[in-house]
Amino acid sequence: MPNHKELEDIAKAIIASASEGEEIEVVLGRSTSTEVVVYKGEIESLTQSTEEGVTVRVLRDGRVGYSTLGSLDQKLVESCVKSARENCSYASFDPHAILAKPDGHPYVELDLTDPEVSQTPVSEKIALALELEKLTLESDSRIVEVPSSSYSDYVGESLVASTTGILRHSERSYAIASAMTVARSGEDTHTGYGYSASRKLRDLSLEEAAQDAIYRAVRLLGAKPVKSRSLTVVFEPRVAATFLAVATAGLSADAIQRNRSIFLGRDGEQVASSLVTVIDDPTDSRFQSASSTDAEGLASRQNVLIEDGVLKGYLYDSYSANRVGRSSTANATRSGSGAPTPSARAVFLAPGPKDASSIIEGLEDGVVIQSISGVHSGVNQVSGDFSVGAEGVLIRNGSLAEAVKGVTISSTLQRMLLGIVEVGSDTKFYPSIAAGNTVVISEMSLSGK
């Protein structure tokens, strides 16, 4: 595979081929990954993969053509550029079509790679998965099986260049150790899932992954459905991160411009509790999604989306910004090939003063939600309706009581945001675009038996 300099040479050659009146953007990328899954002391699967590719975007006379290729071979890349030009000639005219231009915002240089991730022998990565399985089984007698114990990693780099003056290279790596557990007490069984994720291999904690998986399985032994009622709901950080990612999807300028967001027309209004400040900051290296640039090569920056409950603005890429005469907030993202779209890249809640234990001690009646299911089908981004399966533990007089399962919690995103009465100090980062804190919502409907 080519090195960084060769990637740059490929990009520059494509850019130099632009004819008069033509603008070109090229995105080059390559990555390697490893995944090891073990079961009962044996390797169940071992996958190592290498991917590389190029996406070309050609803009001429208000028309945009795309082409993508899973190779960096010179002749094939040339054919990819040719295809993008041909596709451009067939595209519809779009008066807002634009390629990103440097906006003068300074780039933040981030250290997002660890050479150990790629240099560590596969045998040692297998040993990590095996050790995690052994540690998980031996740490608690109620764990009767570990259906899977795994180690995975990723090392990738990308380069964005365009005729408008963009030329930026970025790279990142991370590693994850995870385990699934089965806990048993009498005839009752329950599963749990835990992991440890880190950018640097030396910071990966098998103990953390094992204890997380054990705790989440053992904690719910004896769980039963409960009677339907309204009560205070406490989201654990992992659940709160999911909720935050779902809620902030509606802050994409693309969703706003397609009239598919609960935040439509609410810029400057109170949309959440005054305790809520939501920030998107992909320059924070604690996020797995951190990067010095967005998908169009603009400098990453911190954007305050909601401040003290008041909506401050939306997330733009160059195209969505151009439609309304705004500037990009450097929130262009790409999923596969084709056009970028604006979305949150590394979003978190400004932490409050209390830890999780103190928050629970202050509640007389409620439920701690440990996990939710059916998020994609249970949340309507247009109406805000929110209804998902849940399991967790009841709170009674400031203490954790019996476990619950087979229940549904429901409300609307609007009421949930306005109903936040506590945000914990315990910010936790996950392999996703959102970090999470303990979050308390004053009232939600719990449907059980």
Give yes or no for residue 358 having a pLDDT over 50.
Answer: yes
- Per-position b or e across 229-253, b if 16+ CB within 10 A of its CB: eebbbbbbbbbbbbbbbbbbbbbbb
For the cut 60, the answer to whether the pLDDT of residue 263 exceeds it is: yes
Question: pLDDT at position 6, please?
Answer: 87
Residue where one domain finishes, among candidates 218, 237, 262: 218
What type of residue sits at position 430?
Y
Q: Are residues 269 and 180 in the same domain?
A: no
Instruction: Please tell me whether residues 187 and 273 are part of one structural domain.
Output: no
The whole-model pTM stands at 0.95
Flag whether pLDDT at 203 surpasses 80.
yes
Residue pLDDT, tens place only, 405-427: 999 999 999 999 999 999 999 99
Span 146-159, pLDDT tens digits: 999 999 999 999 99
pLDDT at 257: 97
The answer to whether residues 301 and 410 belong to one domain is: yes
Q: What mean pLDDT do residues 241-247 have?
A: 97
Q: Do 214 and 227 belong together in one domain?
A: no
Question: pLDDT at position 199, please?
Answer: 94
Average pLDDT of the chain, as a whole number: 96
CB 449 within 8 A of CB 241: no
pLDDT at 60: 97
pLDDT of 2 higher than 70:
no
- Torsions phi, psi of 264, nearest 5? -60, 125
Same domain, yes or no: 126 and 267: no
Q: Are residues 320 and 194 in the same domain?
A: no
Region 289-296: mean pLDDT is 97
Q: What is the pLDDT of residues 129-186, one digit of tens each?
A: 999 999 999 999 999 999 999 999 999 999 999 999 999 999 999 999 999 999 999 9
According to the 3-state scheme, what is the secondary structure of the chain? CCCHHHHHHHHHHHHHCCCCCCEEEEEEEEEEEEEEEEECCEEEEEEEEEEEEEEEEEEECCEEEEEEECCCCHHHHHHHHHHHHHHHHHCCCCCCCCCCCCCCCCCCCCCCCCHHHHHCCHHHHHHHHHHHHHHHHHHCCCEEEEEEEEEEEEEEEEEEEECCCCEEEEEEEEEEEEEEEEEEECCEEEEEEEEEEECCHHHCCHHHHHHHHHHHHHCCCCCECCCCEEEEEEECHHHHHHHHHHHHHHHEHHHHHCCCCCCCCCCCCECCCCCCCEEECCCCCCCCCCCCECCCCCECCCEEEEECCEECCCECCHHHHHHCCCCCCCCEECCCCCCCEECCCCEEECCCCCCHHHHHHCCCEEEEEEEEECHHHHECCCCCEEEEEEEEEEEECCEEEEEEEEEEEEEEHHHHHHCEEEECCCCECCCCCECECCEEEEEEEEECC
Is 251 found in the same domain as 188?
Answer: no
Confidence grade of residue 189 (pLDDT, cut at 50, 70, 90):
very high
pLDDT of residue 335: 82
* Residue 285 contacts residue 111 (beta carbons within 8 Å): yes
Would you say residue 449 has pLDDT above 90?
A: no
* Dihedral over alpha carbons 157, 162, 168, 172 (to 10 degrees): -20
Please report, in angstroms and rounded to a whole number, the separation of the first and last CA atoms in the chain: 58
| Confidence grade of residue 376 (pLDDT, cut at 50, 70, 90) | confident
Q: What is the CATH number of the domain that holds 14?
A: 3.30.2290.10
Q: Binning pLDDT at 50, 70 and 90, where does residue 289 land?
A: very high
- Please report which confidence band the pLDDT of residue 270 belongs to, taking 50, 70 and 90 as the band edges: very high
Q: How far apart are CA 433 and CA 288, in angstroms?
A: 8
pLDDT at 4: 79
Q: Alpha carbon of 341 to those of 285, 319, 325, 336: distances in Å? A: 22, 8, 17, 11
Residue that finishes a domain, picked among 196, 218, 240: 218
Output the pLDDT for position 266.
Answer: 97
Give the domain extent around 178. Answer: 4-218
Lowest model confidence (mean pLDDT) among 108-117, 211-220, 333-342, 374-383: 333-342
213 plus 286 within the same structural domain: no
pLDDT of residue 3: 62
Same domain, 173 and 190: yes
What percent of the chain shows pLDDT beyond 70?
99
Statement to judge: residues 275 and 306 lie in one domain: yes
Query: Can you give the pLDDT at residue 1?
Result: 41
209 against 448, higher pLDDT: 209
Q: What is the mean pLDDT of residues 302-309?
A: 98
184 in the same domain as 80: yes
Count of structural domains, the chain:
2
Query: How many Cβ atoms from other residues are within 10 Å of residue 8's Cβ?
Result: 16
Burial of residue 204 (number of CB atoms within 10 Å: 0-12, 13-18, 19+): buried
Question: Is residue 289 located within the same domain as residue 275?
Answer: yes
